[in-house]
Amino acid sequence: MEVWRTLLGVPLLEVHDTLGSTNDRGKLLLREGAPSWGLILAEAQSEGRGRGGKRWYSPPGAGLWFSLLVPARGNAWNSLLPIRVGMALARAGERTLQERGASGTEFLLKWPNDLLLGDRKVGGVLCEKGSEEKLVVGVGINVGSPPGGFQGPLESTAGSVEGLTAVCPARGGFLEAILKEIRDGLEEEGELLSEKELEEYGRRDALLGEKVESEVAGEGVARGLSKTGSLLMEGAEAGLTEVMAGSVFRR
Ligand code: BTN
């Protein structure tokens, strides 16, 4: 374990066979004074959750389910975390697949926190407040195909990296690449997205130009991101609206 902690460059590493939720474990550890950049991994989660209280399917061995303890900054910077972490996941995924000979695969992002391959969701980010000074950044990625496939409502929406690219990256190497990209991405101190970040998001934006429906802003056409990380939506009447919260669906 000490070897992995050193290899991954984290001050604290917990690896569990099963946890309720790595985010809950992260919050508990923060109450006990855990350091920034501590990492909690689970082989499986029994109560894994996504945004909006949705369940996050986390079967054993099939994915990367982890939480990272990230030092908080101002509210504006904190609220950009899901976007910056999403871009880091996409970059790490592409690099890892390229190393396995599957170059040309592009990961897309669906506002605010979905990682996609094509139109299938392969991952997501759940950022939660951990303590006054730290945030818990939870990441779930469907790396391998779960035995029996995705069931129920997930059957038509979810996918795995293995299922969609025919390459199953080793989870250790994938995690190493993700941590590097997250650390590099979060060195960005800006409380607004930079032009470079907006350009990258634009290349990966699965909703750009699509007819969408927002839970809070109704129907419109997605027009990219604002510098504050809101989704820009062009409605029939109100011109451009900034959507800051809630889910958005393709129409
Ligand atoms: C989403 O797409 O809604 C976010 C999914 C986040 C899932 C991860 S898995 C590790 C961490 N622990 C949880 O309970 N959730 C996050």
For residue range 157-215, list pLDDT tens digits in order.
Answer: 999 999 999 999 999 999 999 999 999 999 988 999 999 999 999 999 999 999 999 98
**In this structure, are strands 39-45 and 13-19 parallel, antiparallel, or unpaired?**
parallel
Quote the pLDDT of residue 153. 92
Cα gap 165→102, rounded to integer Å: 8
pLDDT of 251 over the 90 cut: no
Specify the ligand 1 atom closest to the Cα of 113.
Answer: 2
Specify the ligand 1 atom closest to the Cα of 52.
Answer: 3
Cα gap 242→38, rounded to integer Å: 34
- Find residue 219's DSSP bridge partners: 213
Extended beta strands in the chain, E state: 13-19, 39-45, 63-71, 108-110, 114-117, 120-129, 134-142, 211-214, 218-225, 231-234, 240-243, 248-250
Nearest of 15, 110, 22 to residue 58 by alpha carbon = 22
Rounded to the nearest whole angstrom, what is the distance from the C-alpha of residue 231 to the centroid of ligand 1?
A: 21
Specify the ligand 1 atom closest to the Cα of 23.
Answer: 12
Question: Ligand 1 atom 7: the closest Cα is on which residue?
Answer: 140
Average pLDDT score over residue span 29-33? 97
Quote the pLDDT of residue 131. 94
Rounded to the nearest whole angstrom, what is the distance from the C-alpha of residue 40 to the centroid of ligand 1?
A: 12
Within the chain, what is the greatest distance between any pair of CA atoms?
Answer: 59
For residue range 88-114, list pLDDT tens digits in order.
Answer: 999 999 999 999 988 899 999 999 999
Question: Ligand 1 atom 14: the closest Cα is on which residue?
Answer: 48
Pocket of ligand 1 (CB under 6 A): 21-23, 45, 48-51, 54, 56, 58, 65-67, 113-114, 124-126, 138-140
Cα gap 30→18, rounded to integer Å: 19
Q: Is the pTM here over 0.85, yes or no?
A: yes
Specify the ligand 1 atom closest to the Cα of 54.
Answer: 3
